[in-house]
Every structure is written in structure tokens, then in C-alpha cells.
Homo-oligomer: A and B are copies of this chain.
Amino acid sequence: MFMKILQVDFDYQGPMGTDMSEALKDLALSINKEPGLIWKIWTESASEQLGGGIYLFEDEKSAQNYLAMHSERLKNMGVKEVRGIIFDINLPLTEINSGPVI
């Protein structure tokens, strides 16, 4: 089994920054319970009106399951199109650049 990076982004005009931190705290706590999740970095761009996340998962299956569930949840929150890509990690090169996956 190999760890995977899940990269998600989507058009988003909702609250960002401190407002988002408050509004989505319970969601973040629930994400810790998702099977196979190791970590998530929450990404946002006010200038490009994008929300997103970078996730590290233990294996492909858990990344796939999460992406399916999360896409559905975002659509229920009004997001029209979710761009989600599951990537392999090139570990030797990532290690050279101190990537925090090991």
C-alpha cells in the first residue's frame, strides 16, 4: 500500500480566513475521523475565489472514498464543480526536498 496525495480545489465565494476557521471547525474535527487520513492542509484564495485542500492518505482506496464523499458534500453546499486528483508521490525526489510525507 502506498500513500497518496489528494488535491482538491473548487470555485468558492463563501467565507474565508477567520470566518471560515470558525464556521468549519466542527467539519475539520470530523475530518480527523475519516479512514486513512494522515493530514490535511486547508487552502483558499480570495483573489481567485477558490477553496481547496491538500490531503495525505494512507492508500488509494481511502483517498477515493474521501473524494467521492467530499465532492457530494461540496455539491450539497452549492459548489458546482469539484476538481479532485489523486496523485502518487515520488518519494526519493520528495525526500530530497524535505516533503513532509514520511
A-side residues, CB < 8 A to B, are 5, 7, 9, 16-18, 20-21, 24-25, 28-29, 31-32, 37-46, 48, 50, 52, 54, 85-94, 96-101
Contact = CB atoms under 8 A, between A and B. Distances in A.
A18 B40 CA distance: 27
A70 to B, nearest CB: 13
A38 B90 contact: no
A42 B85 contact: no
A16 to B, nearest CB: 7
A52 B85 CA distance: 11
Contact of A20 (B31, B41, B90): B90
B93 A28 contact: yes
